[in-house]
Amino acid sequence: VIQAVFFGICVLTDLSSLLTRGSGNQEQERQLKKLISLRDWMLAVLAFPVGVFVVAVFWIIYAYDREMIYPKLLDNFIPGWLNHGMHTTVLPFILIEMRTSHHQYPSRSSGLTAICTFSVGYILWVCWVHHVTGMWVYPFLEHIGPGARIIFFGSTTILMNFLYLLGEVLNNYIWDTQKKPPSWQDMKMKFMYLGPSS
Q: Is residue 196 part of a domain?
A: no
Q: Is residue 94 part of a domain?
A: yes
Q: What is the mean pLDDT of the chain?
A: 86
Q: Is residue 55 part of a domain?
A: yes
pLDDT confidence band for 25 (50 / 70 / 90): confident
Q: Is residue 192 part of a domain?
A: no
Average pLDDT over residues 72-80: 88
Single pTM value for the model: 0.80
Number of domains in the chain: 1
pLDDT confidence band for 126 (50 / 70 / 90): very high
Q: Is residue 33 part of a domain?
A: yes
Q: Is residue 195 part of a domain?
A: no
pLDDT at 189 over 50: no
One DSSP character per residue, 80-140 reads HHHHHHHHTTHHHHHHHHHHHS------HHHHHHHHHHHHHHHHHHHHHHHHHHSS-SSGG
Task: Please report which helix (H) or strand (E) contains residue 5, including its range.
Answer: helix 2-20
pLDDT confidence band for 177 (50 / 70 / 90): low
Q: What is the pLDDT of residue 196?
A: 46
Q: Is residue 189 part of a domain?
A: no
Q: Is residue 184 part of a domain?
A: no
What is the domain range of residue 108?
Answer: 2-176
One DSSP character per residue, 18-75 reads HHHTTT--HHHHHHHHHHHHHHHHHIIIIIHHHHHHHHHHHHHHHHHHGGGTS-GGGG
